[in-house]
Amino acid sequence: MRRPLRRTSALNVVLLLYWLCCLAPSPVSSITVTTPPEVHASKGDTVTLSCSFTSTSRPTSKMTVDWSYRPQSGGPPMMFLHFSSRAYPPTEGQFGGRIRWQGTPARGDASISLINATLNDNGTFTCTVRNPPDVHGSTTSHTVLTVTPRVPSIRFSDVAVLLFFILLPSAVITLILIGRMMCPKKERNQSKAHRSPIEVTEGDEYGIPGYTHKEDRAKCCDLYLMVRVQSVSFLLSTKP
């Protein structure tokens, strides 16, 4: 009576091991999904949310991809894109019209792009890929998106206006100084050029002491400065 019992026990053990082997996950049939841990962008940018996967089985029509979003403030995740033979981007809601499918499943790519990123898009994006019979392994991966305000850039027109108001006064001052230095010299050279060696000036002829041409030089310089000031006033009045 003991031999049949031993045979029955051995058979039960074999059946139990076979059953456990059938239910145990196969180490070969697995899938791994990978995404960058963090992505940074500026407001208004088009952001690429990369998602790649490796599977022991070739992608078929049964393969699915789900993208979900969890806001930075917390709350349950919200699925906004589903792929099954074709992509179904959102048409309404927070991401309505702003999601484009960029993936190529045959190459292990399930990426998407987010158009016109806003500060409200800050949060965690999750990519989930299923490719039966590969249902084990790391089927999900997370990416934290951080959108910051765009830094204002200096336009060329602003630089041109700034240079105009800096360089123009400097040029005017330089011309005025050159005019003050050249005007007396020019008057002195002209007076010498028209006088003969024996010519006597009006002051010398009548013996008037202290008479010079300072008055004439002053009039020349004053006229020169007045013309320069009027030119600067005209340029500033015509500048928008």
Domain harbouring 41, CATH code: 2.60.40.10
Classify residue 61: in a domain, yes or no: yes
Say how many domains are in the chain: 1
Predicted pLDDT at 33: 96
pLDDT digits (tens, 9 = 90+) for 106-122: 999 999 999 999 999 99
Q: Is the pLDDT of residue 206 over 70?
A: no
Q: What is the mean pLDDT of the chain?
A: 76
Domain of residue 50 covers 34-148
Does 166 or 164 have the greater pLDDT score?
166
Model confidence at 29, pLDDT cuts 50, 70, 90, reads low
Read off the tokens for 8.
């029955």
Per the CB < 8 A criterion, the answer to whether 113 and 43 are in contact is no
Copy the structure tokens of residue 221. 């310089």
What phi, psi does 120 have (nearest 5°)? -75, -10
Residue range 35-49: average pLDDT?
96
Q: What is the pLDDT of residue 134?
A: 82
Backbone angles phi, psi at 39, to 5 degrees: -135, 130
In a domain, 157, yes or no: no
Radius of gyration of the chain (CA): 44
CA atoms within 13 A on the CB side of 138: 12
| Residue at 58 is within a domain | yes
Q: In what order do the strands lie in the sheet with 140-148?
A: 38-42, 140-148, 123-130, 64-71, 78-83, 87-88
Closest listed residue to residue 129, CA positions, set 25, 54, 29, 37: 54
For the record, the structure tokens of 109 come out as: 């790519």
pLDDT in tens, 213-229: 545 555 555 555 565 55
Residue 29 lies in a domain: no
In a domain, 78, yes or no: yes
Average the pLDDT over 33-39 and give the result: 97
Residue the block writes with tokens 């027109």: 157
Task: Output the pTM of the full model.
Answer: 0.56
Beta carbons of 183 and 220 less than 8 angstroms apart: yes
Count other Cβ atoms within 10 Å, centred on residue 47. 20
What is the pLDDT, as a whole number, of residue 173?
A: 80
pLDDT in tens, 73-99: 989 999 999 999 999 999 999 999 999
Q: Which residues 6+ apart lie within 8 Å of 160 measured at CB?
A: none
Predicted confidence (pLDDT) at residue 10 exceeds the cutoff of 90: no
pLDDT above 60: residue 12:
yes
Q: Is the pLDDT score of 127 beyond 80?
A: yes
pLDDT at 135: 72
Residue with tokens 């409200």: 120
Residue 139 resides in a domain:
yes
